[in-house]
Amino acid sequence: MSHIEASHVYKVFGKREQEVVKRLEAGADRKDLTQLGTAAVIDASFSVEPGEIFVVMGLSGSGKSTLIRTINGLWKPTTGSIKIMGSDIAKMDARTLRATRRDKISMVFQHFALLPHRTVRENAAYGLEMQKVPKAERMERADTWLDTVGLGGWGDKYPHQLSGGMRQRVGLARALAAETDILLMDEAFSALDPLIRREMQEQLIELQETLSKTIVFITHDLNEAMFLGDRIAVMRDGRIVQIGTSEEILTEPANDYVAQFVQDVDRTRVLTAGSVMERPNAVVQSNVGPRVALHTMQEQKVAALLVTDRHRKLLGLVRDRQVVRAAREGQKSITPLIETKDVLRVNENDPLSSLFAPASSSIVPLAVTDDKERLIGVIPRVALLQTMASIGPDTGEIPVIDDSGELHAGEKVNGDHGAGQAQASPQDLAAEAVPQEDLGADESLTGPAPGLEDDAASDATATERKEDGL
C-alpha cells in the first residue's frame, strides 16, 4: 500500500472554489480565474511509496507548500482525495485527524520553530510529549535522536546557543523522535549556508539508509532535488507537470518547461563553485600574530594561509617564509605581510566551467566568496579535478586541465551527481507560520534569530567557524 496517495487533488483559495475547479476541468486557464479564486493546486495525482524520498520541486508560488499542507490535513482539498496509509485524510473526524498527524506524520519547516525557553532536549522531545510518552522515556528518546543527528551532548543548551544549522538539526531530531513513518519537509534546508546545507542533505541520505522513512521533500532547488529525490515531481503554476526519477526528468523532459528547467544539468554549468567548495581550514584573521599563523600552517600542513578580517571578509594570503621571518623579528601582526596578488577569488554562484582557467594558473586553492566578499569556502585544484572525474562520462577518463584552462576528456559530463547546493535559497526569510494546532501549548515560538547568528558569525574565532561548518 502506498503511504500517500493523492488523486485529482485541487486546492483553490477564494470564495468560489467549486466554480474554479469546474472551469479548470473544462479547460479554463488559472490566470483567467483569479477573480473567482486562486488555484494553488490543480489536479494533482501521485503516490508515495514506503521508504521513498519524493521531492516536489517548483518555482516560488507553484503550489508546493499548499500541496504538502493538504497531505498533512491542514488544508482540505477543494476536490479530490488524499489517502494516508489508505485512509482519506479529508474524511477523518477531528480526533482521528489529530491522531494521524501525531502518530503518522511529522513535519520539518524551513525555519524550525523551536520553543525558546525549553532546552534542546525538551524541544526534541516535543512530539513525544504530544504523544503522551512519560517524561523519563521521552527525554531518553530525545537524547538518542539528538545523538543521531550529531547533537549529542547539546541537550541541556537552549536554542539561542545554537547555530542555524544546529537548530535545524534539533528540528530534524524532533521530527524523527516522533517516530512517524511519514516525514514532510518543506524547504527544510533552504535557509542554511551552502556547506551546512550539503551536510544536512548528506546526513538525510545517510539516516534514510537505516530509517527508511517515507519522505516528501519540498525544494525549489534543482541540485537538491536531484541529490535527494528517488522521484521528483515538477510543479508549475499549480500543476504537476512531470513525475520521474532525476534521470527520467533529465533525459525525457515532459515538455519545454521541464526541458528548460534542466537543460544545463548535464553540464558543468549547473554545478557551481559553492557546490564543490571545501571548508576553508587554512585561514587566519588578520589581527593574529605570526606565531599563531605559523601554528595554523603547521596544523594544516600548508605553506600559505588565506587571511580574513573579523567579519570573514577575504583580505589576501600570507606565505610561510614571510611569516617565519616576521616571527623571528618579533613582529606583532601578520597584517603587513598580506599579499593580494595571487589570491584568486570566485563567487559561490560561478559555474564550474568558469573555474578551470583560474584553477590552472593557481597553486593556492581558489577562494570562494559570497556576495559580500566573505570567504565561505575554498576549492583546491585537486578537488575540482576530482569532481570532474566523479561526474565524468562513460569513458572513465579523468579529465585534465591544461594551462589554457581547457578541460579535456571529461567534457561530456552527464550524470546527476548534483551533490549539494550552490547558494542559500532566496526564500522569504519570514518564518514559516507553524499552525498553532501543531504546536499546542501557549508558548511563543522563535525562528532562528538571524540577528544573533550574524553577531556570532562576526565574532567567531577560526575554531568556532570550523564548528559551524565554515
Binding footprint of ligand ATP on the chain (CB under 6 A): 13, 38, 40, 58, 60-66, 220
Single out the segment in contact with Mg ion by CB under 5 A; choices: 64-72, 93-101, 323-331, 367-375.
64-72
CB 340 within 8 A of CB 331: no
The size of the interface with Mg ion (CB under 5 A), counted in residues, is 1
Give min distance, CB of 406 to ligand ATP, in A. Answer: 38
Binding at 148: pick from Mg ion, ligand ATP, none (beta carbon under 5-8 Å per type): none
Judge residue 313's burial from the number of C-beta atoms within 10 Å of its C-beta, 0-12 exposed, 13-18 middle, 19 or more buried: middle
387 is a site residue for Mg ion (CB under 5 A): no
Q: Is the CB of 66 or the CB of 214 nearer to ligand ATP? A: 66
Q: Of the two residues 245 and 427, which places its CB atom closer to ligand ATP in the complex?
A: 427
Q: How far apart are CA 166 and CA 163, in angstroms?
A: 5
Q: What is the DSSP string of 18-67?
A: HHHHHHHHTT--GGGGTTT-EEEEEEEEEEE-TT-EEEEEE-TTSSHHHH
First to last CA, the chain: 43
**Secondary structure (3-state) at 150:** coil
Contact partner at residue 61 from ligand ATP, Mg ion, none, CB < 5 to 8 Å by partner kind: ligand ATP
Cα gap 158→386, rounded to integer Å: 40
The residue (of 109 and 227) whose beta carbon lies closer to ligand ATP is: 109
Amino acid letter, residue 411: E
Q: Where are the alpha helices (DSSP H) in 178-218?
A: 194-211
The residue (of 60 and 251) whose beta carbon lies closer to ligand ATP is 60
Residue 29 neighbours by CB under 8 Å, 6+ apart: none
Q: Where are the alpha helices (DSSP H) in 229-376?
A: 246-251, 256-262, 273-276, 290-300, 320-328, 356-360
CB of 93 vs ligand ATP, minimal distance in Å: 24
Q: Which does 163 bind (CB under 5 to 8 A by kind): Mg ion, ligand ATP, none?
A: none
Which span (32-40, 65-73, 168-176, 372-380) binds Mg ion, by CB under 5 A?
65-73
Please count the other Cβ atoms lying within 10 Å of the Cβ belonging to residue 198: 24
- What's the chain's length in residues? 470
Smallest distance from the beta carbon of 40 to ligand ATP, in angstroms?
3
Q: Does 308 sit near Mg ion (CB under 5 A)? A: no
**Rounded to the nearest whole angstrom, what is the least distance from the CB of residue 350 to ligand ATP in the complex?**
25
Partner from Mg ion, ligand ATP, none contacting 245, C-beta within 5 to 8 A by type: none
Residue 198 vs 220, nearer CB to ligand ATP: 220
For CA atoms 390, 391, 395, 401, the dihedral sign is negative
Contact between 65 and Mg ion by CB under 5 A: the answer reads yes
Say if residues 228 and 201 touch (Cβ distance below 8 Å): yes
Cite the DSSP H helix spans in 338-416: 356-360, 381-390
Q: What is the closest distance, in whole angstroms, from the C-beta atom of residue 184 to ligand ATP in the complex?
A: 12
State the nearest-atom distance from the C-beta of 276 to ligand ATP, in Å.
26
CB closer to ligand ATP, 65 vs 446: 65
- Least CB distance from residue 36 to ligand ATP, whole Å? 13
Q: Which is nearer to Mg ion, 113 or 470 (CB)?
A: 113
Grid cell at residue 42: 490543480
Q: Whose Cβ is closer to Mg ion: residue 65's or residue 275's? A: 65
- Cα separation of 367 and 273, whole Å? 10
CB of 418 to ligand ATP, least distance (A): 19
Note the residues at the interface with Mg ion (CB under 5 A).
65
